[in-house]
A and B are shown apart, each in its own frame.
Chain A
Amino acid sequence: MTMIFGIPLQAFLGQLLIGLINGSFYALLSLGLAVIFGLLRVINFAHGAQYMLGAFAAMLMLEYFGINYWVALILGPIVVGLFGAIIERTMLSRLYDLDPLYGLLFTFGLALTIEGTFRYLYGAAGQPYSVPTQLAGGTNLGFMFLPIYRGWVVVVSLVACIGTWLLIEKTKLGAYLRAATENPVLVQAFGVNVPVLLTLTYGLGAALAAFAGVLAAPIYQVSPLMGSNIIIVVFAVVVVGGMGSIMGAIVTGYMLGIAEGLTKVFYPEASNIVIFVIMAIVLLLRPAGLFGRDA
């Protein structure tokens, strides 16, 4: 058997893949956080809850309406995005003039409420969501066995990340967004409806989280707690990457996912905390974060 650093190659690549998958979710979620923070100056604590909502949306749609995975992948994010937009319009938008910490506390309360409701309705235990038949099974790559669905997740999340980046960096709407980030008053004066832009952004961020949630449903168990488990790690990712750049958030997400996967190979006990350790080191060496601009 081929060995690498004293570890069987199979195990090494297997963990690398798991790291890559976790990294995909970190990237998608920290990307959404960065987009929302960029414009709204709000750290969306409910991001994990919205991710969980996406997974539940997929599961419930299948259960009650027989809607399959492919439709859920589109419909889930739309539903959660709309929900996010309503929350932003009715409540979150009242907090923009206050200290950003209030936005964090509000979304924290929102996350608790959503999580508590789903725990109340569906229990804390996870429920399975089966892999769509088109993506079931696996393929032998010669050096490792690749479950097709996992490969699909890596590819599609990469596409979603790049798509979002293109949307923000290369389109007219993205230009408005970036301009509004720099100077909302001026952009408003040019006739752009900034409040609508804010609502749209929050909805988009929530939809991205839900998209990640639908993707995650067949891999992890669909459970009310899945969101709060991941959001704290994503916060650490965001601290490492700095929220100044969209691309930074994506790259950091993948990097830390892989670092976590590799730690599982070499020193499994530390795999839970490795991201936090990296965060601490980055804070020592580069307090503003790897891609951060703000102090």
Chain B
Amino acid sequence: MSEMTQTAAKPRIERSATASRTYTIFVIIGLAALILAPMFFYPIFLMKLLCFALFACAFNLLLGYTGLLSFGHATFFGGAAYFTAHVVKEWGFPPELGILTGVVGAALLGLVMGFFAIRRQGIYFAMITLALSQMFFFFCLQAEFTQGEDGIQSVPRGHLFGFIDLNSSTNMYYFVLAVFLIGMVIIWRFINSPFGMILRSIRENEPRAISLGYSVARYKLGAFVMSAALAGLAGGLKSLVFQFATLTDVAWQMSGEVILMTLLGGIGTLIGPIFGAGLVVTLQNYLATSQFPVTIVTGVIFMVCVLVFRRGIIGEFYASRLGRKLGFEHRR
């Protein structure tokens, strides 16, 4: 794992006071921008962006902070979308319970997939997660409740806590924003907890973590389930935003997309994936109206990123002169 992890940011505690101050300012600016954003942009677009940003950050928890490349995260994202859509539409669950169902379902899927995948490392881990998620794709294709090729359509958004009408797009936007922020705080707390520190030690030097007496497999599984649950949070939210859940969300291309978002934004940086997701989603929106296929652009960006831009946007920023002046450190 060592090379991949060199792109990672230094642990937060080592960051200088300047960096902390800069960080706080950035967070405040970011928050203000997100709160005001619906005045300037199309709310659905913003909500999509936030869902994918959360998805990418959840994924980065695994790749950036534990050093595990999962090629099967579509399972958790799309699976949760199906679960949420199903319970909300067929069983009449309120939105908050619907999303919770999605999260729990995704966590369980993560537990099963993680159980098999952590038996191998590196490249095999990626292939196993890909294969298992393809298996889940076929399951969704044939299972009754997903309604096959049609997907679950016209999912009602309902009323949050019984009194906030989510059919209003303003209400929905602030609900999505709140969930997104909760998700980000969870991720932030998680990676700065003792658990997160142990994950980083596994990423940096697995044999050493083992020799220090840590049950590496259990920590990896824990990180995997956590990442899956948060990806599920994003997926469940997405099915309420768009009011449908389809096979696209569980297909392997989705797993590839989230990898690209993370890579583009900066592997192992807390906020990088948000920028990566923003760029990819914007690009998709832009290309959707043209004839040019997204796949080619995605593929080329992938190749370019891997060849010359491995630190990603935020990683490059941290490593740049300005970034270092602001107190960020970035090893290479």
Contacts and interface: CB of A to CB of B under 8 A. Distances in A.
Bound together: yes
B295 A112 contact: yes
Contacts, number: 129
If over half of A's interface residues share one DSSP class (helix, strand or loop), that class is named, otherwise mixed; here it is helix
If over half of B's interface residues share one DSSP class (helix, strand or loop), that class is named, otherwise mixed; here it is helix
Contacts of B17: none
Contacts of A236: 127, 131, 134
B302 A115 contact: no
A232 interface: yes
A115 B252 CA distance: 14
A276 B2 contact: no
A280 interface: yes
Interface stretch (A14-22, A94-102, A182-190): A94-102
Interface stretch (B45-53, B116-124, B317-325): B116-124
B130 interface: yes
Contacts of B256: 108, 112
B122 A101 contact: yes
Chain B interface size range: 35 or more
Interface residues of A, number: 45
Contacts of A108: 256, 259, 302
A5 interface: no
A228 interface: yes
Given A117-B296, A232-B130, A273-B139, A280 B116 contact: yes
A283 B128 contact: yes
Interface stretch (B102-110, B158-166, B303-311): B303-311
A133 B66 CA distance: 56
A142 B3 CA distance: 60
Contact of A283 (B119, B121, B293): B119
Nearest to B132: A276
B119 A91 contact: no
User: When A and B form their complex, which 8 residue pairs have the shortest distance between CB atoms, in order from nearest?
Assistant: A109-B302, A116-B295, A112-B299, A113-B299, A116-B296, A276-B135, A99-B3, A99-B4
Interface of A: 37, 43, 91, 94-95, 97-102, 104-106, 108-117, 119-120, 228, 232-233, 235-236, 238-239, 269, 272-273, 275-277, 279-280, 283-284, 287, 295
Interface of B: 1-4, 69, 116, 119-124, 126-128, 130-132, 134-135, 138-139, 141-142, 252, 256, 259, 263, 292-303, 305-307, 310
